[in-house]
Chains A and B, each alone.
Chain A
Amino acid sequence: MTDRQNIDTVLAERDAYNAALAGTRRRGGSWPALLVILAALALFPLVQLTGGNWNYPLHLMLYAFMYVAMTSGWNILGGFAGYISIGHNVFFCIGGYVSGMLLASYGISSFLTAPLAGVVAMAVGFCVGFITLRVRGPAFIISSIALLMVARILFDNWDFVGGSNGISLPRMELPVQYVKIPYYYAMLVIAVASLVASYAIRHSKFGLGLRAISQDEIKAESAGIDTRFYKILAFAISAFFVGTAGAIWGEYMTYIRPNIFLIILVAANMVLMCILGGKGTVAGPVVGTVLLIAFNEFFVSQFGASQINILGTGIIMILALMFFPNGIVGTLRRRGRLPRILDWD
């Protein structure tokens, strides 16, 4: 074969590759399968009516829904915009306290006040973001930790909300086998809402702008994006979902106390679940949440609630990130092996 033929062959192959690429569109997610899963989740509490004791699985699932909501919310700022916050549980706390205080003082159920709690968390997020989003990178991470510390000191010493002892909340008057069911549905609704919002943002101009910011903020600003406004708005929206989840969680726990909400473990869970699943992807927070909770439950069942279960989960995290450096969803996408059911980006 002559050199000319070689070149022609290479060019022809390259053109074919490019033509295929140009014709490629992102595959949509597998909506029917997702709807089936959602329907199964909605019907799951009915097993409790069979007389069996499904309280622990119900608790575990509503706990997972809560983290899906919070991690998806966190992902709007931390994943799409690339601003890692380790103080987002402050909004979890604000949501819990707003609804908790309304329940304790006026007897209004958190199911009714959760959206309001989310709005208050959003407003606080807007103000906090206005101040802290002037810095980026490690400085922003430190500012988010400072926010958490300030909030902890404030709530520990604020007598009106019970200080470090917190406040007890009235328990919902339902038989014990059914009492988790309303919270299960509430958390499911919040989780689905946060995923829908995350999906809508990911596919909007706002989401495109946030992704540009996460890549190169100077370039994004030069492209005409009001980076400061985009970041503050992302911060506020993410605070809304975390705050709403906190509202339901407070009533579910039947008390509100700083050491439920304002511990670093809650914030760390949000970050780790998102990174494990795939930061900046819509499905990543779901995958990360399910896997981290599953790992933890497995190790607890094997070793009890000891330090070993934390060690085991940590080792799994390290291994997962060695083989999936962009998170599971992010890495599988880059390798072209992402199952359709997880392709929501």
Chain B
Amino acid sequence: MFEVRRLSKSFGGIHAVNDCSFAVDEGSITALIGPNGAGKTTVFNLISGTLASDSGEVWLEGKRIDSLRPHQITRRGMSRTFQITRTLEDLTVLENLIVQSRVTGIGGLFRKAIGSAEEARAMELLDFVGITRLAHEEARNLSFGQKKLMDFAALLMSEPKIILLDEPAGGVNPTLLEAIVGHIQELNRGGLTVLIVEHNIELVMSISHKVVVMAYGSVIAEGEPDAIQADRRVLDAYLGAQSADA
């Protein structure tokens, strides 16, 4: 469904992503893991068009998308969250969701900002993540956890086929984490493909169908969670070369 082929990106003399290739199967939850500085978020930025790659290809449903701008990629059915939650602070929660809905043609631009069908869909999604009561609150007034949930709901507003989640568990309490994991699994059961960058290995191993491990900008291993946990290259990457000597 989705494939990255020989993707590379350098910042000055630093090879942040180096000849990176992996695939994500339709309907799966695939996790992209690796130590800090492995290049995971850069890969996310390259895939979503936020950064331009130096070389390599990104394919979504048989079409190349690496030359597209971020909004075009979103319209093709791929939505993402950011490592540090980005919310439109002066907009209400409802507007933060509505802004993700599709606008077609010049005429569409001048339609009412919040249509009734979109509002109903947005309220449904807010209900899904349990923050309906905050619909008319400005996003700046939300707590960190509420912003995470709003971001998650907004992601779904564009009716994506694949979602890219950058550290969804980062900085959230166990209760909220449980809720987020539940939402991801429920959406995946509904057919949504998920690519997730996460440091919480326990979470990754419990929900992923496939794990891709990166180190120094390259993919060093990929496979099912159980196999990855036993892979010596992965242990070396996380713990250093001494694991090989132990």
Residues on A facing B (Cβ under 8 Å)? 15, 18-19, 21-22, 24-25, 200-201, 203-209, 211-212, 215-216, 218-228, 233
A211/B71 in contact, CB under 8 A:
no
**How many residues of B are in contact with the other chain, CB < 8 A?**
38
| B86, closest chain A residue (CB) | A219
**What separation, in Å, do the CA atoms of A22 and B158 have in the docked complex?**
23
Residues on B facing A (Cβ under 8 Å)? 48, 50, 69-72, 74-75, 79-80, 82, 86-91, 95, 98-100, 102-103, 108-114, 132-137, 154, 158
Contact of B136 among A24, A225, A226, A228 (CB under 8 A): A24
Asked whether A209 and B99 contact (CB < 8 A) given A221-B70, A224-B74, A224-B158, the answer is yes
B113/A227 in contact, CB under 8 A:
no
Say what secondary structure dominates the interface of chain B: loop
Further 8 A-B residue pairs, CB within 8 A, beyond A211-B91, A221-B70, A223-B154: A204-B110, A204-B112, A205-B108, A207-B113, A222-B71, A222-B74, A223-B99, A224-B100
A211/B88 in contact, CB under 8 A:
yes
B112/A222 in contact, CB under 8 A:
no
Say what secondary structure dominates the interface of chain A: helix
Chain A residues in 8 Å Cβ range of B95:
208, 211
**What separation, in Å, do the CA atoms of A276 and B100 have in the docked complex?**
31
**What separation, in Å, do the CA atoms of A207 and B91 have in the docked complex?**
12
Chain A residues in 8 Å Cβ range of B102:
224
A208/B113 in contact, CB under 8 A:
yes
A226/B71 in contact, CB under 8 A:
yes
B71/A218 in contact, CB under 8 A:
no
User: Nearest Cβ distance between residue B158 and chain A, in whole angstroms?
Assistant: 6
B100/A223 in contact, CB under 8 A:
yes
Chain B residues in 8 Å Cβ range of A228:
69
A225/B99 in contact, CB under 8 A:
yes
Asked whether A218 and B136 contact (CB < 8 A) given A200-B110, A205-B113, A224-B75, the answer is no
Contact of B98 among A25, A208, A220 (CB under 8 A): A208
**What separation, in Å, do the CA atoms of A206 and B137 have in the docked complex?**
21
**What separation, in Å, do the CA atoms of A224 and B71 have in the docked complex?**
4
B82/A219 in contact, CB under 8 A:
yes
B99/A220 in contact, CB under 8 A:
yes
The 17 sampled A-B contact pairs (Cβ below 8 Å) are A18-B133, A19-B133, A21-B137, A24-B136, A205-B103, A205-B111, A207-B113, A211-B91, A212-B91, A218-B50, A218-B86, A222-B74, A223-B158, A224-B71, A225-B99, A225-B103, A226-B71
Contact of B111 among A22, A25, A204, A224 (CB under 8 A): A204
A223/B74 in contact, CB under 8 A:
yes
Chain A residues in 8 Å Cβ range of B48:
222
